[in-house]
Structure 1
Amino acid sequence: MTDASYRDAIFSTPLDRVASFSFDERVVACFPDMVRRSIPGYGQILGMFGVIAERHLRHAAHVYDLGCSLGAVGLALAGRLPAEAFELTGVDLSLTMIGRAREIAAAESPDHRMQFVEGDIRHLDYRASGMIVLNFTLQFLPPADRDAVIDKLFAALEPGGILVLSEKIVAEDEQENAWLVERYHDFKRANGYSEMEISQKRTALENVLVPDTLAAHHARLTQAGFSRVTTWFQYLNFASLVAFKDKDALIGAKAATQDA
């Protein structure tokens, strides 16, 4: 994505009170720089979405990118697949993000069928889809809402479809988790963030981004009905999973369009 953006300096000055993190206009302006310097392996994960879609997406299938931000998932698919291969709907709560995603997609992939809409993924009327992506999105939902969302996504997926879930995770062992967190902070230091920026960003995300363990993600996906769940990527305390809906699976009693 060649979107011009500013360097992330949101937490570079001392704040008397650190407000809870939100995807406001300041974040939108520096978002590409923020994710590149803050999420280990973000570029590698994006690069694999198109490869995974090539292997598992039937021709002309519909794809959801939930929590789409600036539409990077759609651009990753467009970089590997021809325009007729898929149709994508990106959804985000931030209208500012949606506006920029539309502009970027129109400039970089004008021939691909991609639409971007403002919405809450907990209350969408989902259409049948061959692939659904939650790229660092579920972690921002209240933990009590996560099971219901995954249940709805399983119902919306066509038999043989896949869900790709990327998340910040927490290790079950406290000592292991502490080591991973410290190395993650080292990662951010190596990418130019100061101690103040790291500390203030951590405060801003408290109770906003609530990570699960890998085991909890696997259990939730299995409980929803996915026949197989694979952790295909992990870099420190960030991971991506792919969940497969059996080709012989029947659509459950809960309709895909039923609100949670």
Structure 2
Amino acid sequence: MSDVDKLFAEPLPKVSDFVFDHDVARVFPDMIKRSIPGYPTIVENIGVIAAHHAQPDTLIYDLGCSLGAATQSMRRHLRQDGCHIIAVDNAEAMVQRCREYLSAQDSMVEELVPATVVQGDILELELQPCSVVVLNFTLQFIAPELRLPVLQRIRQALLPGGILILSEKYRFEDPGTQHHLEQVHYAFKRANGYSDLEIAQKRSAIENVMLIDTQPAHLERLQQAGFSLAYPWFQCLNFGSIVAHA
């Protein structure tokens, strides 16, 4: 169902800001697999962590779900009765494909946790009481000044014992650390078949769209939002994931 990512393979007269359109949706699984080190481990363990903390008869949110990889993982692992996943994305192309992927999963596996895919802006979404929320490489696409209010709303919606799973690309305050991890990330992309032209054009397309924070900044913001405990559970190069407890 996914094509090979060739979106930046030819020289572009002007590199436009990155958008999650139909072209991106078509190649997204390949793009993510070849661009984010550790991504399969993050996605699979989102399911494991969510299953460990999910409470029976509660909602679970996958906010900024893209094609629903985290939702599919949670459906594979969740065993609690009465749970329902709500997967939300603001990109129509992503929502359409996400529904197709979840439908295909339904046809292969019986008795999965039900999941509803909603097209909507998570900045305006009214969150219902829930036991798990996933932001899997989503917060970095939200304007920095709006990130704390989003996390505060999530914290307020979480039931006692609930968790947030937050995955992000990190930047590093130390210039040497930033430089070396960035260069190894480019090497990772080259090892996965991307050319220097593709790497450069993709970087230009996304640099004004994806504004990244340091890991300490994320942890401090989670504390400000009212979470009682937050800790990193995974990092691979400059990508990582955090669990925050209500």
* Deviation beyond 6 Å, 4+ runs, structure 1: none
- 1:215 aligns to what SS in structure 2? helix
What's 1:37 paired with?
34
Number of equivalences? 242
- What is the 5 A alignment of 1:9-88? 9-82=6-79, 84=81, 86-88=83-85
- What is the 5 A alignment of 1:1-260? 4-82=1-79, 84=81, 86-109=83-106, 111=111, 112-245=113-246
- Residue identity (%): 45
Distance in 1 separating the partners of 2:220 and 2:79: 35
What's 1:253 paired with?
none
Structure 1: gaps (5+ residues): 246-260
RMSD: 1.1
User: Would the aligned equivalents of 2:85 and 2:115 in 1 still touch at CA under 8 Å?
Assistant: yes
User: Would the aligned equivalents of 1:66 and 1:121 in 2 still touch at CA under 8 Å?
Assistant: yes
User: Would the aligned equivalents of 2:51 and 2:79 in 1 still touch at CA under 8 Å?
Assistant: no
What's 1:258 paired with?
none
Paired residue type of 1:198? I
Paired residue type of 2:165? V
User: Would the aligned equivalents of 2:89 and 2:121 in 1 still touch at CA under 8 Å?
Assistant: yes
Distance in 1 separating the partners of 2:102 and 2:122: 21
Distance in 2 separating the partners of 1:129 and 1:226: 15
Distance in 2 separating the partners of 1:49 and 1:61: 17
User: Would the aligned equivalents of 2:130 and 2:162 in 1 still touch at CA under 8 Å?
Assistant: yes
Paired residue type of 1:50? G
- 2:77 aligns to what SS in structure 1? coil
Deviation, structure 1 residue 72: 1.1
Deviates more, 1:108-117 or 1:16-25: 108-117
- 2:78 aligns to what SS in structure 1? coil
TM-score by length of 2: 0.96
Q: Residues 173-227 of structure 1, C-alpha deviation per residue, up to 9 Å, x if partnerless?
A: 0111011100100000000000000000000011100000001100000011111
User: Would the aligned equivalents of 1:75 and 1:109 in 2 still touch at CA under 8 Å?
Assistant: no
Q: Residues 104-153 of structure 1, C-alpha deviation per residue, up to 9 Å, x if partnerless?
A: 11221364310011111111111011000000000001111111111111
Deviation, structure 1 residue 232: 0.4
